[in-house]
Structure 1
Amino acid sequence: MNNNFITFEGSDGAGKTTVLKRVFETLDTITEQPSILTREPGGNRISEMIRNVILDRNNREMDAKTEALLYAAARRQHLVETILPALADGKMVLSDRYLDSSLAYQGGGRQIGCQAVYEMNQFATDGLMPGLTIYFDVPVAVGLQRIAEHRSVADTDRLDVETRAFHQRVHDTYEQLVQKYPDRMVRVDATQPVEQVYESVMTILRNYLNRSDR
């Protein structure tokens, strides 16, 4: 666990990425610590190339375990090239998704099993976990409605167009993770207006950064 490593998680349509960009832009109002904003899968050239393969809607025949392995490979490159150097420089790393996404989407959504996905990623991450994970909670129906209303066909990826049952399994697995890791994961009600979600996240970050045990 690294206390300067903070991740943001949530089902598709939770609004996580929109809020995270604004949080990063205003982070200097609550801390002087330098920071970087990154994402998974992606964050550097090789990981972004893997991302394109995973999310390409034309790759419908991709096996579930192949998908999980590709996410782990992208995560490994993201760590060694982007996250670990930033942490070594004393920077705070804000990442849009990390291991919890694989547990929810491949472990739960693809029904591979969380334990199998977790063990696979131990090799990829050398056990590195964030000190804080902010989970954007939104009902499946709301998330899918937002995707339908705000994303064009060209902007939807291979996971966006999965079945409702798939997305429900993803959501249910996130709920299990929040219960399993209460010391690390903090829930935010993402059904609120964007401004309120943003303020909630900033309050969580402010409290976390002010903790004496960091």
Structure 2
Amino acid sequence: MLRTRTERSGRWWGLPRRAAWALGSVITACVALLAPLPPAGAATPASVQQIQADSSGTGRTFDGVGAISGGGGTSRLLTDYPEPERSRILDYLFKPGYGASLQILKVEIGSDTNSSNGAEQSHMRTATDVDCDRGYEWWLMEQAQQRNPRIEFYGLEWGAPGWFDGGFWSADNIRYLTSWLGCARQHGLHVDYLGGWNEKGWDAAWYEQLKSTTVTVR
């Protein structure tokens, strides 16, 4: 079943996320400096925290360790590495029981727009243009799946092409996303999660339409 998810807000406590991280680091450092030191020779009491894991519970489940290839070409240079170094890096990333052993890979659905560090190519540059070999994310997903056939993929947009009639939350974008899913199938890839707009709000009716459409096409 295809599951849709929205991204969390890009702001914490009213601050941009990066600023909140920086502030949190400063606060942590200050607390560490102000904390009283134990007397010399004093024994430090040992504290043990036990966490019970119940596989039969109905609460949240741990889906695995993941990484993101998105935000405008963050993984672009990997394709230019020579062999065997490139394959070694890919092994460290995706090979089970070895290195990072990533279990989830989130990739950007490119739109030819600057999405932070650059622009990722769009598979659909006009309403009638579809090129399922455009961009490097397909290659990265294939490399990940070759090393871990059980890896889960998550597709997410950082932006959208300008030809959409009605903007991001439009029927054109739903057609754009279903076309991207079709490209994934052509590459032998199964997409487990499909998001909306990275850190840019949400539209409940649009998500409902996206879900009903993707269930139909799948």
Report TM bin, short chain.
0.3 to 0.5
TM-score by length of 1: 0.34
Larger radius of gyration, structure 1 or 2? 2
Structure with greater helix percent: 1
Scaled by the length of structure 2, the TM-score of the pair is 0.34
